């Protein structure tokens, strides 16, 4: 029996817990986001990833999928075998997918696609990556880029291209040793430079002047990680919304609101809800660190108290303090749109879980919107995959 105190509930709640096998879903979304554009979000690479991906692709293909977005943003990787199996669902047979190279022959391997893909070779494909996409995510995005199978959109990936093996020392301890390096089809090493101390001589890692080519002749660089064909950054979260996410205030408000109100998907936050949320925030002690304020506070504490007491100095400092107070008072109205999005995502999550939360973010996700634009324009899509000299 587990007793918990839930936010918004006046009495503790009792839950009887029973042991069971819990399956963590690797694919958190697989559905259409346009008439013929499908979107799949893959969060990790485990033993089930390839079979789950195959089922999703088959299901979407049966429903008329002609274009596909695979979102690997924030995916830290996982099993190499899962990445290779997923690539074989996308890449025609006979193509090199990955090389590993080590000091010893047994550490050097080559992986090639050995079966026909589950999707048509004519299907337009976009892979989304960011700085949180690592290891297996980079193997997939790197192979898709090098083989000109699709377009990579987002920001440069993490840059993890080392093969590590675990060796037992005794019954209780083991040691993990780097035994090889990953190389994607063009021959690029995807490990980001600077992962070892400079004084350790391991030979050349990267040559930023060396030109690599995709199978279609496009020039690509070896800078560590995968550089997208089209770079698009997500907009930064402003200060008030960031504080609300940090302290779970969107979640807390949504929980309270839904105790007395009924909502349905898709959730639309109107002016009444927004003003109610303003009142909710007014009861919280918010820590808003505006640009330049930290430096001002440091200056304030370092000024001699007698100097600060001087009329002209005191007046100037008070003016600056009032300036920051006024800015904070205006943050709610300034960040209105972002606060609405935060509320809609949290309401959606409580109504429909992770899948509903993801769906609620599509209209504000600059990377996804760019992918949709590219996939909706065949001329643009083809031009990205065409060597620049043509």
Active-site entry in 26, 85, 146, 365: 146
Give the Cα separation of 227 and 158 in Å (integer): 10
User: In this predicted structure, what is the pLDDT of residue 201?
Assistant: 47
Query: Would you call 146 a catalytic residue per the annotation?
Result: yes
Query: Would you call 160 a catalytic residue per the annotation?
Result: yes
Active-site entry in 113, 124, 135, 137: 135
- Residue 283 has a CB neighbour count (10 Å cut-off) of 6
- Which residues have CB under 8 Å from 240's CB, separation 6+? 286, 288, 331, 332, 334, 335, 338, 339
Token readout for 268 is 């639309």
Structural domains of the chain sorted by starting position, each given as residue range(s) with its CATH number in brackets: 27-234 (3.90.226.10), 239-366 (no CATH)
Question: How many alpha carbons fall within 13 Å on the CB side of residue 119?
Answer: 29
User: In this predicted structure, what is the pLDDT of residue 302?
Assistant: 75
User: In this predicted structure, what is the pLDDT of residue 31?
Assistant: 98
User: In this predicted structure, what is the pLDDT of residue 28?
Assistant: 97
Active-site entry in 56, 85, 157, 160: 160
User: In this predicted structure, what is the pLDDT of residue 130?
Assistant: 98
Give the Cα separation of 7 and 234 in Å (integer): 31
Token readout for 225 is 């990680």
- pLDDT tens digits for the chain (390 residues)? 889 887 667 788 888 888 887 778 999 999 999 899 999 999 999 999 999 999 999 999 999 999 999 999 999 999 999 999 999 999 999 999 999 998 888 888 999 999 999 999 999 999 999 999 999 999 999 999 999 999 999 999 999 998 888 889 998 899 988 888 999 999 999 998 876 555 444 455 556 667 899 999 999 989 889 999 999 999 889 999 999 999 999 999 999 999 899 999 999 999 999 999 999 999 998 888 888 878 877 877 777 666 666 777 777 878 888 888 878 889 999 999 999 999 999 999 999 999 999 999 999 999 999 999 999 999 999 999 999 865
Give the Cα separation of 377 and 390 in Å (integer): 19
Q: What share of the chain is helix, strand, coil (3-state, %, to 5)?
A: 40, 20, 45
Query: Would you call 51 a catalytic residue per the annotation?
Result: no
Q: Is the Cβ–Cβ distance between 161 and 194 less than 8 Å?
A: no
Q: Is the Cβ–Cβ distance between 136 and 83 less than 8 Å?
A: yes
């Amino acid at each position: 029996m587990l007793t918990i105190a839930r936010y918004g509930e006046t009495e503790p709640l009792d839950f009887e817990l029973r042991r069971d096998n819990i399956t963590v879903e690797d694919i958190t979304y697989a559905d259409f986001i346009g008439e013929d554009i499908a979107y799949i979000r893959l969060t990790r690479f485990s033993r089930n990833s390839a079979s789950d991906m195959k089922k999703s692709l088959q299901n979407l293909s049966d429903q008329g999928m002609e274009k596909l977005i695979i979102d690997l943003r924030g995916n830290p990787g996982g099993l190499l075998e899962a990445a290779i199996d997923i690539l074989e669902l996308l890449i025609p047979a006979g193509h090199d997918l990955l090389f590993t190279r080590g000091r010893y022959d047994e550490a050097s391997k080559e992986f090639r696609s050995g079966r026909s893909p589950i999707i048509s070779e004519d299907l337009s494909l976009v892979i989304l990556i960011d700085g949180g996409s690592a290891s297996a995510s980079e193997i997939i995005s790197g192979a898709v880029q090098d083989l000109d199978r699709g377009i990579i959109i987002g920001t440069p990936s993490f840059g993890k291209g080392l093969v590590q093996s675990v060796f037992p020392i005794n019954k209780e301890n083991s040691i993990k040793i780097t035994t090889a390096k990953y190389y994607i089809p063009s021959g690029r090493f995807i490990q980001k430079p600077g992962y070892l101390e400079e004084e350790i001589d391991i030979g050349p890692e990267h040559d930023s002047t060396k030109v690599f080519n995709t199978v279609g002749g496009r020039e690509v660089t070896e800078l560590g990680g995968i550089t997208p064909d089209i770079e698009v950054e997500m907009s930064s979260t402003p200060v008030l919304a960031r504080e609300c996410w940090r302290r779970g205030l969107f979640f807390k408000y949504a929980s309270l609101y839904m105790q007395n109100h009924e909502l349905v998907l898709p959730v639309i936050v109107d002016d009444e809800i927004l003003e109610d949320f303003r009142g909710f925030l007014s009861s919280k002690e918010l820590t808003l660190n505006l640009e330049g304020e930290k430096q001002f506070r440091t200056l304030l504490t370092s000024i001699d108290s007698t100097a600060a007491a001087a009329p002209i100095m005191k007046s100037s400092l008070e003016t600056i303090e009032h300036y920051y107070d006024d800015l904070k008072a205006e943050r709610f109205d300034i960040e209105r749109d972002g606060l609405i999005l935060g509320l809609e995502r949290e309401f959606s999550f409580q109504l429909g879980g992770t899948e509903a939360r993801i769906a609620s973010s599509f209209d504000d996700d600059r990377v996804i919107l760019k992918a949709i634009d590219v996939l909706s324009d065949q001329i643009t899509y083809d031009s990205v995959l065409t060597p620049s000299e043509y």
